Amino acid sequence: MRIISGSHRGRQLHPPKGLIVRPTTDLAKESLFNILVSKVDFEEIAVLDLFAGTGNISLEFASRGAKDVVSVEINHRCTDFISECISEIGFERVFVVKANAFNYLKSVRRKFDVIFADPPYELKEVTHIPDLVFNQSLLNEDGWLIIEHDSSVNFREYPTFHSERQYGKVHFTLFHIDTGEDS
């Protein structure tokens, strides 16, 4: 696992063996960030990373200068690893929350510019994430929700659906509220 770009470009991160996670591949992550570079100003965004696992996405956003990143993960070994990485690298804008992602979405009272969710592929409740995010108004104006999933999930009928991209077996669905500006 490595940070692809930003202030810590090329930095290797070595999660402990035995973590039951599926980190986003470098190819998929790089492709996703290539999409986002034309949609957001990384240095101006607040990011929520749900089902953060190893913190791969959180640390990438932090390296690219995100003003703050909240990394939500329920597994204590994962949150410990993310916290170690934050401390070792010196990221002061990444905050780790050990919590169930769905409960966090129901209780959080702030807004984000980007919400990224990478739930376990077998999690049936993945389809509830857009409703929770948009019903709770968790995105700032012009904000983006991105869900990583496999081919068994189809979000195309959601009113806030923007696009879906596929990189190997990885699918990213992007959601956005159209504010009338070019997106």
Instruction: DSSP for 42-53, please give it.
Output: GGG-EEEEES-T
Q: Three-class SS of residue 101? A: helix
Q: Which residues contact 26 (CB under 8 A, 6 or more apart)?
A: 2, 4
Using CA of residue 145, residue 117, residue 60, residue 70, what is the dihedral sign? positive
Q: Three-class SS of residue 35? A: helix
Does residue 21 register a pLDDT over 90?
Answer: no
Does residue 73 register a pLDDT over 90?
Answer: yes
Question: Does residue 52 sit within a domain?
Answer: yes
Contact 24, 16 (CB under 8 A): no
| Six token digits for residue 167 | 């990189």
Q: Tell me how many domains the chain contains.
A: 1
Question: Does residue 119 sit within a domain?
Answer: yes
Q: 181 pLDDT band (50/70/90 cuts)?
A: low
59: containing domain: 40-176
Of 122, 12, 26, 119, nearest to 74 (Cα)? 119
What is the structure's pLDDT at 22? 77
Buried b (16+ CB within 10 A) or exposed e, 136-167: eebbeeebbbbbbbeeebebeeeebbbeeeeb
Question: Does residue 181 sit within a domain?
Answer: no
Does residue 133 register a pLDDT over 80?
Answer: yes
What is the structure's pLDDT at 9? 81
How many CA atoms within 13 Å lie on the side-chain side of 144?
24
Does residue 19 register a pLDDT over 90?
Answer: no
Contact 85, 60 (CB under 8 A): no
Question: Does residue 120 sit within a domain?
Answer: yes
What is the structure's pLDDT at 15? 79
| Six token digits for residue 143 | 């904000």
Task: Please give the average per-residue pLDDT across 147-151, as a whole number.
Answer: 95
Give 20 or 85, the one with higher predicted confidence: 85
Question: Does residue 30 sit within a domain?
Answer: no
Does residue 104 register a pLDDT over 60?
Answer: yes
The count of residues in the chain is: 183
Contact 37, 31 (CB under 8 A): no
Contact 155, 130 (CB under 8 A): yes
Could you tell me the CATH number of the domain that includes residue 73? 3.40.50.150
Does residue 183 register a pLDDT over 70?
Answer: no
Question: Does residue 167 sit within a domain?
Answer: yes
In the chain, the percentage of residues whose pLDDT exceeds 70 is: 97
Task: Please give the average per-residue pLDDT across 129-155, as a whole number.
Answer: 96
Question: Does residue 34 sit within a domain?
Answer: no
Cross-strand partners of 72: 50, 97
What is the structure's pLDDT at 180? 62
What is the structure's pLDDT at 80? 96
Question: Does residue 81 sit within a domain?
Answer: yes
| Six token digits for residue 150 | 């496999």
